[in-house]
Amino acid sequence: MSKQKIYMNRELSWVKFNERVLEEAEDKKTPLCERLSFASIYQSNLDEFFMVRIGSLIDQMLVSKEIRDNKTNMTPQEQIRAILEEVSRLNYRKDAVYEEMMNELEKYGIKIVDFRKVSKKESQSLRQYFESEIAPLISPTIVGKRQPFPFLRNKEIYAVGVLERKNGKEKLGIIPCSSGVFPRLIPVPGNSGTYMLSEELILHYIPDAFPGYTVKSKSLIRVTRNADIDADALYDEDLDYRDFMVDLIKKRKRLAPVRLEMSRELDGDIVDTLCDYLDVKEDYVFRNHTPLDLSFLFQLEDKLRNIPELFYEKRIPQNSPQFKKGESILAQIQQKDKLLSYPFDSIKPFLEMLHEAANDPQVVSVKMTLYRVARQSKVVEALIEAAENGKEVLVLVELKARFDEENNIEWSRRLEEAGCQVIYGLDGYKVHSKLCLITRKTENGLEYITQVGTGNYNEKTARLYTDLSMMTANTEIGQEASAVFGALAMGETVKATKHLLVAPNCLQNKVLGMIEEEIEHAKNGEDAYIGVKINSLTDKKIIDRLIQASKAGVKIDLVVRGICCLIPGVEGETENIRVISIVGRYLEHSRIYIFGCGERQKLYIASADFMTRNTLRRVEVAVPIYDPDLRGQLNEMFITMLSDNQQVRELKSDGIYTRVQSDETQLNSQEFFFSQAYAQVQGLAEAAASKEA
């Protein structure tokens, strides 16, 4: 059995995930404006993939062309070649679905046009607009001996023209189109609902920007730059870490290009010239028949908000019935463990818990790890309130949270100004855990309220991502959480735990141990089971142990939204493993680990995916679920997701994802969980009304 039939390359698996996102844009059962969103998400996902993963592979090639993927034995060059082929294939589909959606939008009075689709009168009005509103604000550049090729900003759009003088000499003219001073969508005068993209307007009038030249050919271009910087490798311990990260962000914006996109065909020599200036190989050049940046689609959606049929049915996170209104949140957690399931449950009880802790005279400290927070963060405001009320507040702000560094830097300053103790993570490790510890000093001694989550402390994503948040007054869990924070404050990692799974030292090894336990039960002829819901599966040690478990007869269900490097259903190898991916309205982000059956079942929620970066190079926390009611709730959730026959794709033994087809009653797990949340709240309201009557 060859490795290629059991393992899938990480990068190619990610491309398959983004293909599933694109399928949502193609799916006519999805409301039109939501399809627009999926198309834009497909593109932004791809931007980040090139910036990070392609950038990383290119860096690997610079080190050695013989570095190989530990699962498929592919070299970086082989991986890039395969990725570029797949991306080219998917871009044809993206172009096709974009055109289809634009045609559909016209039925609702919205049009995006270019100069081939406007009347002579409209063209004259657009010229006037260009001359009065745009021409004074643009900065045309001609590349020559005295004017070097300008720096092209990451992901910004430029109009490029091949210019010819009367003497026959050619030069290159470039105009930035992403100034932010003028709107992206330019209304076409006299034609309500019709728009032209500002870059198309600039490109059309590029001859006006370069008088004295003939424009032989022209195109819009967009550069994607490498963003893969190893902050720890570059850090000098004599520097202030926060100032260092500010400089690093600036440096990242100037890294080498890894992709060049063009809106039109240019002469091959001109493309070669652009590639030379940018130091990009021809293989990394893509011709698109759609706009180079699809973010404007969200603006179109805003113009259609008054047509409900174009959007998903409105859903509002509900107040969890686990919490009683008007009673202390902390006291309710002390009585019984609580579990919130976002976005079906509201994040409000967690925010109320923080606010209550900030004002509780018996609370002596609040400690929290922050990875990504909202721009206007109520979580951070509550921590500031606690500090201002005299509590000890310790906050680990991870400044290496990719693309959120600037937001985190600003919040770290605010926290420090309020009197919080702020630490910035560890050398060599990102702190990705979602851990909060409230310590109270009472007559009976110290009491702990510990919260462990699967997602960030971010009110915005709590409405968009599926995540879990468990709160407990379990003393031993609180003591272990305290040990985690103690280690972080010392710049160290926890070496041993009894209850929590804490990476990098006490998560992968314990997961491997629990898989081994299931293998032994299967060998003894007993029922053995593993169920895991994660975002990605790439950790080869865990993958290989799962393969061993499958061979031993352990039944394994894996719900993996994104990357999955394990191919299931291979006879004699992974035939006892099922892999599904749920891609739908909400981003599946929760992590659940289930090991064993019945009385001996071990169940956790976690911040960690089964990726080596999470299990060995980050601080991650998984918490055991001991409360019988919460265990039942999570088991039911997991079974429901496995039964989804609307948003699920199943990974087959040939490495291809296929939609689950079923003649049974339609089940969309995300919609089911929301209807369940609504029904529970309605049931409580009816019971209260009946009691009053």
**101: alpha, beta or left? (left if phi > 0; alpha if psi -120 to 50):** alpha
Q: Is the four-CA dihedral 164, 165, 168, 174 of positive or negative sign?
A: negative
At 195, list the tokens: 């728009």
Q: How far apart are CA 332 and CA 446, in angstroms?
A: 17
Cis amide linkage into residue 343, ω under 30° from 0: yes
H-assigned helices in 539-668 = 540-552, 612-616, 628-643
Q: How far apart are CA 366 and CA 436, in angstroms?
A: 7
Instruction: Name the residue with tokens 């109520």.
Output: 378
Q: How far apart are CA 354 and CA 385, in angstroms?
A: 9
At 535, list the tokens: 């975002």
Q: Does residue 432 carry a catalytic annotation?
A: yes
Q: Are 408 and 415 in contact (CB under 8 A)?
A: no
Rg (CA), the chain: 27
Q: Are 449 and 333 in contact (CB under 8 A)?
A: yes
H or E stretch covering 268: helix 268-278
- Our measurement of the distance from residue 30's CA atom to the centroid of its chain's CA atoms, rounded to an integer in Å, reads 21
User: What DSSP line would sit under 363-422, residue for residue?
Assistant: EEEEEEEESS--TT-HHHHHHHHHHHTT-EEEEEE-TTSTT-HHHHHHHHHHHHHTT-EE
User: What DSSP line would sit under 127-162, residue for residue?
Assistant: HHHIIIIIGGG---EEESSSSPPPPPPTT-EEEEEE
523-543 burial code (b ≥16 CB/10 A, e <16): eeeeebbbbbbbbbbbbebbb
Q: How far apart are CA 113 and CA 45, in angstroms?
A: 26
Which residues, in sequence order, are CB contacts of 329 under 8 Å at separation 6+?
323, 349, 352, 353, 356
H or E stretch covering 13: helix 10-26
Q: Which long-range contacts (CB under 8 A, 24 or more apart) does 568-573 make?
A: 568/651, 568/652, 568/653, 569/652, 569/653, 570/1, 570/5, 570/6, 570/653, 571/653, 572/1, 573/1, 573/5, 573/6, 573/547
Strand partners, 435: 452
**Catalytic residue chosen out of the listed positions 204, 289, 355, 432:** 432
**Kind of pairing between the strands at 285-287 and 618-624:** unpaired
Q: How far apart are CA 625 and CA 596, in angstroms?
A: 14
- Give me the half-sphere count of Cα atoms (radius 13 Å) on the Cβ side of residue 461: 20
Task: Report, as residue numbers or ranges, the catalytic residues.
Answer: 432
